[in-house]
Structure 1
Amino acid sequence: MYKHLFFDLDHTLWDFEKNSKESLADLYASFDLHSWSITDLSRFQAEFSVVNKRYWSLLESNQITHEELRRRRFRDTLLNLGVEADETLGLKLNEAFLELLPQKSHLIEGAIEVLEFLAPHYELHIISNGWQDVQSKKMKSSAIAHYFAEVVTNERAEARKPDKRIFDYAVKVAKANLSESLMIGDNYEADILGAINADMDSVFYNPDNFSITQKPTFEIKKLLDLKNIL
């Protein structure tokens, strides 16, 4: 039934949380954050995770821009930990983070096995709200770039999930038909509601049993469950 599979990247294939924690540990050491009264690395990592998720949610609902996310997520993380910080310092940390992060290579469990299983039978693509250069580096570092024909980001499409336009753009550049296309992602609002709005079938990768109001075409708990569907 399907010929084109469109994957989200972060949290679906590429293990953002694990790679982020490693990158934050590198930042903690290189910027000597211990001397800034941030005495607990795990607290720094946990606070950034909370702040980052909040800012990405604001971004995906068009309440802020990418530039605001870049400037503010580290500033707010430091402020919440009792460190005086402005957007200039936040941007400096963010730039260092974006240099470190794409070099990490951890993937979600089962990612390679699933891609190896699917690649001979389907055209594989990425639809991501991340930055084009950063996402390309992540895929190269984790040795998965060769599986994908098209990597569509908000920069290319000039729209971000859940906006229908990014899905329409991805289908167009992939030379696909909607009836033959399937979106696979972990973010219910961006990936699944976005796909539903674009009339595209979808697979909700939902390892945390997130409660949903509109059902996707399929729902899985592990990536390897894709082999049972496809």
Structure 2
Amino acid sequence: MYKHLFFDLDHTLWDFEKNSSESLAELYHSFELNSLNISELSAFQQEFSVVNRRYWSMLESNQITHEQLRRRRFRDTLINLGVDTDEAFGLKLNEAFLELLPQKSHLIDGAIEILDFLAPNYELHIISNGWQDVQARKIKSSKIEHYFGEVITNERAEARKPNKKIFDYALQVTKAQLSESIMIGDNYDADIMGAINANMDVVFYNPDNFEATQKPTFDIKQLIELKEIL
């Protein structure tokens, strides 16, 4: 039934949380954030995770721009931890983070096994809201670039998930038929609702048992479950 599989990258194949935690640890030490009265690395990592998810949610609902996200997420993280800082220092941290992060290579459990299983029989692609250069480096660092035909980002499509335009663009550049395509992602608002709004079948990678108000075509807890669907 399906010929083209469109994967989200972060949190679906590429283990953003693990890679981010490693990068944040390096930032914490190299910028000596303990001297700013952030006594626990774990507090810095946890607060950034909360702030970053909130900002990405705002970005995907068009409440902020990419540039605002880049400038504010570290500033807000530090302010929430009681540090008197400004946007310039937050941007400096963000630039260092974006240099470190794509060098990391941790993947979600089962990612390589399922990609090896699917690659001989399907055309595999990425649809991501991340930055083109950053996502390309993540894919290269984790040695999965050979699996994918197209890597489609908001920069290429001039739209981001859940906007239908990015899905239409993906179908256009891959020469895929809607009826032969399926989206696989972890983000309910961006990946699942985006695909539903584009009338594309969708697999919800849902390890946290999120209660979906609109049911996806398929719901899985582990990537390896794709073997039962595809």
Same fold (TM over 0.5): yes
SS at match of 2:18: helix
State the match for 2:83 in structure 1. Answer: 83
- Identity, in percent, stands at 79
For 2:164 and 2:142, locate their aligned partners in 1 and report how far apart those are by CA, in whole Å: 29
Amino acid at match of 1:93: L
Q: CA deviation at 1:108?
A: 0.1
1:121-140 matches, cutoff 5 A = 121-140=121-140
For 1:128 and 1:29, locate their aligned partners in 2 and report how far apart those are by CA, in whole Å: 30
1:128-167 matches, cutoff 5 A = 128-167=128-167
Q: Where in structure 1 are there 5+ consecutive unaligned residues?
A: none
For 2:61 and 2:177, locate their aligned partners in 1 and report how far apart those are by CA, in whole Å: 27
Tell me the TM-score normalized by structure 2: 1.00
State the match for 1:49 in structure 2. Answer: 49
Is 1:224 aligned to 2:213, yes or no?
no
Amino acid at match of 1:132: Q
RMSD, matched Cα: 0.4
For 2:122 and 2:7, locate their aligned partners in 1 and report how far apart those are by CA, in whole Å: 12
1:20-73 deviations in Å (ceiling 9; x for gaps): 000000000110111111110000000000000000000000000000000000
Alignment length (residue pairs) = 230
Amino acid at match of 2:33: L
For 1:93 and 1:82, locate their aligned partners in 2 and report how far apart those are by CA, in whole Å: 17
Amino acid at match of 2:106: H
Q: Where in structure 2 are there 5+ consecutive unaligned residues?
A: none
State the match for 1:184 in structure 2. Answer: 184
State the match for 1:31 in structure 2. Answer: 31
Tell me the TM-score normalized by structure 1: 1.00
1:120-165 deviations in Å (ceiling 9; x for gaps): 0000000000000000000000000110000000000000000000
State the match for 1:115 in structure 2. Answer: 115
Moved over 3 A (4+): none
Q: CA deviation at 1:85?
A: 1.0
Amino acid at match of 1:147: Y
